[in-house]
Structure 1
Amino acid sequence: MSSIFPGDLWAVGETRVNDLSVIVRFRTELPSAADRELNENLIIISWPYIGIASGMPNDEDKKNTNSFEEAIENGFENSSIGVQVACLTGNHLKEWRYYTHDVEAFLDAFNACLAEHPVYPINLRMFQDPDWKALSELQPEGSGQIH
């Protein structure tokens, strides 16, 4: 489904939440209105961690979240089921944002790519987001995106 992002360009920025740094990696473009309408289901995967005083993950948190992230990225990389649009790390939380046209198929693929992994301390939340606010809110104002 990454074909809805032909340029596949990402940016990295930093913001502050609760006076702690949060690193944000996000896609720089929005897909066409038709692709946004078709893939209006937002899935937010969050992983709370204790981390270090700055709110960033400690070494063990990094190792575990990286293993998890690699598994889901590999599982969805060439899939038409879901596409990652952002990843946020900081304030004692790591969060991945995905869009899909089929929530059940997404969850099936998600579980399949983690089948050989331990149980992770994650939370999944699902929303209808036809305007893709969960991505556009991360993009800088004046970038030509929808805000």
Structure 2
Amino acid sequence: MKIGSEWWTSPTESENGRLIIVTGRGGIDEVRNSGKYNIRVEVTWKYPGDATGMPDYPTSKVMEAVQDAMTKAFDKDPVAVLTGIYTGDDERNWIFYTRSIHIFEKKINEALADFDLLPINIYTENDPDWQEYDEMREASELEG
């Protein structure tokens, strides 16, 4: 199954008017249309943001390393696909679509094993129609 590596970035606003940088993945129609990736997983890292709600440099560097580790793990074994990243308003959210919560949990634990305790929360929800992905695309088209 072909998983695209095209990414786009667009600014948007949180409900309280703060800047959010949205980074979305394109080229994933084959994954979406397969009907196998029906569970949305949101990995959230809350941080003390600066005046604009963005992370400081040291935090952003650790976030980048965490993202690289997750991307590497799921590119090697695509049980989940990273589809979007939201940064701003004092948090970063990585959005995945997965086939199995249990396998996702195992793979993310392996991917992040080299890091000290991370301030992340994980939320899952059935989303077979990829509603969140569509909303992210619509929001970015309105901005762009």
1:12/1:26 contact within 8 Å kept: yes
**Root-mean-square deviation over aligned CA pairs:** 1.8
What is the DSSP-based 3-state SS (H/G/I as helix, E as strand, rest coil) of the residue aligned with 1:57?
A: coil
1:30/1:136 contact within 8 Å kept: no
C-alpha distance in 2 between matches for 1:30 and 1:88: 18
Question: C-alpha offsets along residues 122-144 of structure 1, whole Å, 9 cap, x if unaligned?
Answer: 00000000010111111137x7x
Identity %: 26
Report the counterpart of residue 125 of structure 1 in structure 2.
123
Q: When the two structures are superposed, what TM-score results if normalisation uses the length of structure 2?
A: 0.88
The alpha-carbon deviation at position 99 of structure 1 amounts to 0.7
Q: Which amino acid in the other structure matches residue 67 of structure 2?
A: E
Q: Does residue 50 of structure 1 match 2:57?
A: no
Question: C-alpha offsets along residues 37-74 of structure 1, whole Å, 9 cap, x if unaligned?
Answer: 21101100000001201001111211221121111111
Q: Does residue 9 of structure 1 match 2:1?
A: no
Q: After superposition, where does 1:1-147 map in structure 2 within 5 Å?
A: 3=2, 5=3, 7-17=4-14, 18-29=16-27, 31-32=29-30, 34-35=33-34, 37-140=35-138
What is the DSSP-based 3-state SS (H/G/I as helix, E as strand, rest coil) of the residue aligned with 1:47?
A: strand
Q: Specify whether residues 8 and 66 from structure 1 end up closer, same or farther in structure 2 by C-alpha distance, changes over 3 A only.
A: closer
Q: Specify whether residues 12 and 70 from structure 1 end up closer, same or farther in structure 2 by C-alpha distance, changes over 3 A only.
A: same
The alpha-carbon deviation at position 9 of structure 1 amounts to 2.1
Residue segments in structure 2 that go unaligned for 5+ positions in a row: none
What is the DSSP-based 3-state SS (H/G/I as helix, E as strand, rest coil) of the residue aligned with 1:131?
A: coil
C-alpha distance in 2 between matches for 1:34 and 1:85: 14
Q: Which amino acid in the other structure matches residue 8 of structure 1?
A: S
Structure 1 stretches (4+) deviating beyond 4 angstroms?
A: none
Q: When the two structures are superposed, what TM-score results if normalisation uses the length of structure 1?
A: 0.86
Q: Which amino acid in the other structure matches residue 117 of structure 1?
A: F
The alpha-carbon deviation at position 80 of structure 1 amounts to 2.3
C-alpha distance in 2 between matches for 1:64 and 1:9: 23
Q: Hey, which of these two has a bigger chunk of helix by percent?
A: 2
Q: Which amino acid in the other structure matches residue 137 of structure 1?
A: E
